[in-house]
C-alpha cells in the first residue's frame, strides 16, 4: 500500500472559468440592477474586495466606499476583487452620511442592514424599486448618525451566539434576495 503523499492527491482537476469575454465598454452598456451597496467604515480590505466581486456578479448600480473603507488602488482589494474593480461603478465618500444624502437627492430610498430592535426581517420587508443599503463596520455596525438618516432598517435574523455575520456574507444574502425579487417581477 502506498503512503499518502502528494502523488496520491487529486491534482489533475479543471476549474471552469465562466468569466465573460465582454469588453469593459460593452459591459458598461448592460443594464444594472437598481441596488446600491453603501459601506460604512469597513475595516477589512479583503471584505471590500469580496463585495466588489459580489457587486459585479449582481451588476449593482453602484458601490459606495465611505469613511475609512478601503478603496482603489489597493493591493488587498485588487487581490480579493479578482479584476472586478474596473467593472463595478463605485464612488468614494469621506462620510457615509454624504452617500446617503447623495442617493436621497436622487429620490432613492436608503436602508440600513443592522441587527437591532425594530428592524424588519429582510425577507418580509416591502422593497422599493430602487434602494441603497448601508452595511456597517464589522465591530461597530452602522453609525448612529447614518441609522437616523435611513428610511428603514432591515436585518438578517441570527440564531446563534453572535449577533451578526460577516459583512460580505450579509451583502450577498440581502443582495441576492433583492435582485431575485426584482427579476421575478419582470
Closest residue by Cα to residue 173 from 19, 58, 52, 30: 58
Q: What DSSP string runs through 58-117? A: HTEEEEEEETT---SS-HHHHHHHTT-TTTS-EEEESSHHHHHHHHHHTT--EEEE---T
**What's the confidence (pLDDT) of residue 44?**
87
DSSP conformational letter for 6: G
Report, as ranges of residue numbers, the positions in the chain whose pLDDT lies below 50: 1-8
- Report all structural domains of the chain as residue ranges with CATH numbers, in order of start: 30-184 (3.40.1280.10)
DSSP conformational letter for 150: S
Residue 126: exposure state from Cβ atoms within 10 A (0-12, 13-18, ≥19): exposed
pLDDT 10s digits, 27-49:
888 899 999 999 999 988 899 99
**What's the confidence (pLDDT) of residue 19?**
75
**What's the confidence (pLDDT) of residue 10?**
54
pTM of the shown model: 0.87
At residue 184, φ and ψ (nearest 5 deg) are -75, -15
User: CB–CB of 19/37 below 8 Å?
Assistant: no
**What's the confidence (pLDDT) of residue 51?**
95
Measuring CA to CA, how many Å separate 100 from each of 39, 94, 110, 151?
11, 12, 6, 10
Amino acid at each position: 500500500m502506498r503512503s499518502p503523499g502528494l502523488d496520491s492527491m487529486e491534482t489533475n482537476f479543471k476549474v471552469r472559468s465562466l468569466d465573460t469575454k465582454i469588453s469593459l465598454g460593452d459591459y458598461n452598456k448592460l443594464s444594472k440592477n437598481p441596488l446600491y451597496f453603501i459601506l460604512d467604515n469597513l475595516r477589512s480590505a479583503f471584505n471590500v474586495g469580496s463585495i466588489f466581486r459580489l457587486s459585479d456578479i449582481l451588476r449593482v448600480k453602484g458601490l459606495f466606499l465611505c469613511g475609512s473603507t478601503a478603496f482603489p488602488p489597493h493591493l488587498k482589494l485588487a487581490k480579493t476583487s479578482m479584476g472586478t474593480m474596473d467593472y463595478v461603478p463605485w464612488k468614494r465618500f469621506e462620510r457615509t452620511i454624504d452617500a446617503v444624502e447623495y442617493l436621497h437627492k436622487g429620490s432613492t430610498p436608503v436602508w440600513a442592514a443592522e441587527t437591532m430592535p425594530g428592524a424588519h426581517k429582510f425577507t418580509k420587508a416591502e422593497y422599493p424599486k430602487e434602494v441603497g443599503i448601508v452595511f456597517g463596520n464589522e465591530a461597530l455596525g452602522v453609525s448612529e448618525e447614518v441609522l437616523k438618516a435611513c428610511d428603514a432598517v432591515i436585518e438578517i435574523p441570527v440564531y446563534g451566539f453572535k449577533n451578526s455575520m460577516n459583512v460580505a456574507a450579509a451583502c450577498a444574502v440581502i443582495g441576492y434576495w433583492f435582485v431575485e425579487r426584482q427579476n421575478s417581477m419582470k
